[in-house]
Amino acid sequence: MSRLLSKARVRDLLLGLVLLCATLALMLYPKPSMEAARTGLQLCYNVIIPSLFPFFVLSSLVVELGLAGYLGRLLEGIMWPLFHVGGACASAFALGFVGGYPVGAKTAISLYEKGMCTRTEAERLLAFCNNSGPAFILGVVGAGIFASSTVGVALYLAHALASVCIGLLFRFYKAGTDSGKTGRRRPAPQIQAKRFSTAFTDSVKNAFLSTLNICAFVVFFTVVIQLLMRSGFLPGLAQALGTVLAPFGLTPEWAQRLLTGALEISSGVSTLSGGGPLPGRLTMAAFMLGWAGISVHCQVLSFIGGSGLSVRTYLVGKLLHGGLSALFVWVLVRFIPLTAPVSNYLADQVAGIAGMEFHSALTASILAAWLIFLGFLLAAALGTRKNLGKKRRPVV
């Protein structure tokens, strides 16, 4: 089969058939396609733009101003023993947890392009630093889908723990290429910082283009899922998959939920608000959050571009992330009841996040981004002071 697909004529024929079917689907279902596109644009306006744009600006500033390098000097003793990556990679790890998809991946790629980490370190980062943000898991999934703040906290803890485990696992990826194998780390990269005015304008422009790129993928996959549903292809595929995996307890309904989440995460988790046992829905939600969906993967691949970084490493990491997250939640629900709220304050907080409008979400995201930026400034100042103290130390 692989030899057959490797032939250019066969690939072109299959691609032509897919494009022809897509054109026919748009002609047969014009109104549902327009409604799906309108839904995707509304999602971009209310969620994607206000939540991602400030963090894209932040991640670019951290790299362009050289803050990641100063942070690397401070955190080298933590990041290298744990994940076998340089200290500068801590910025991608932190922003990936706070900013959500695909801020961590974009930061890792920027670090590699600026020469602040090696190719191997960048590929390790891509495997575990592209994570869902707390606002989406706590607010949209926890409070919005499952109507429980406890569920949101449990999903986020499992998501974060799985990410750290993937990082620990991928520290052995291409271990023979590490210069630290002999006990010595390679020399720290030279910190090249731009002027703030230049870095700020470049960061805003790049963040706008990146956000627009992501919105395009979100709208595209929203329309694709609607067409697959209307044409009966997705229900038919789910029926076949449910029949094959029936001995393992996977019904066609659950198979359709899984396939939807494998394509686009927000559409997938929204299907879990329906019927079904809570442990099963939570386990599937954890897998979807870890896997992230093909829509997110396309967003990351657009950033990887011609960097030469391994796409396979990234996809394997996300698949393992989904599997580990599902395993952790499956074990957790066996011991801890996930129906009682953590606290009334947390419930009110995440419910407010789920129901935010554009202006409120934008204000909250900008505030969070600047607070993190100030944290990076403080860490950079501490790293600079530490290095200066070492240089001034008299030699007897």
As a dihedral over the C-alpha atoms of residue 190, residue 63, residue 318, residue 361, rounded to 10 degrees, the angle is 170
Q: What's the pLDDT score for residue 183?
A: 43
> Sign of dihedral through CA atoms 378, 384, 386, 389?
negative
Average pLDDT, the chain: 77
Number of DSSP helices (H) and strands (E) in the chain, helices first: 19, 0
State yes or no: pLDDT of 388 exceeds 90: no
- Can you tell me the mean pLDDT for 70-77? 71
Task: Return the number of other C-beta atoms located less than 10 Å from residue 191's C-beta.
Answer: 18
d(CA 68, CA 62): 6
- Per the model's pLDDT, the better-predicted residue between 341 and 213 turns out to be 213
Of 157, 194, 75, give the one whose Cα is nearest residue 342: 157
pLDDT tens digits, one per residue of 198-210: 778 888 888 888 8
State yes or no: pLDDT of 101 exceeds 70: yes
145, 354 in Cβ contact below 8 A?
no
Q: What's the pLDDT score for residue 318?
A: 95
pLDDT tens digits, one per residue of 112-163: 888 888 899 999 999 999 888 887 888 778 877 887 778 888 898 999 999 9
Q: What is the pTM of this model?
A: 0.76
- Can you tell me the mean pLDDT for 317-338? 88
Q: What's the pLDDT score for residue 68?
A: 66
The SS3 call for residue 371 is helix
Q: What's the pLDDT score for residue 351?
A: 43
pLDDT tens digits, one per residue of 328-374: 999 988 877 665 444 333 434 444 444 445 555 555 555 555 565 55
143: left (phi over 0), alpha (psi -120 to 50) or beta: alpha
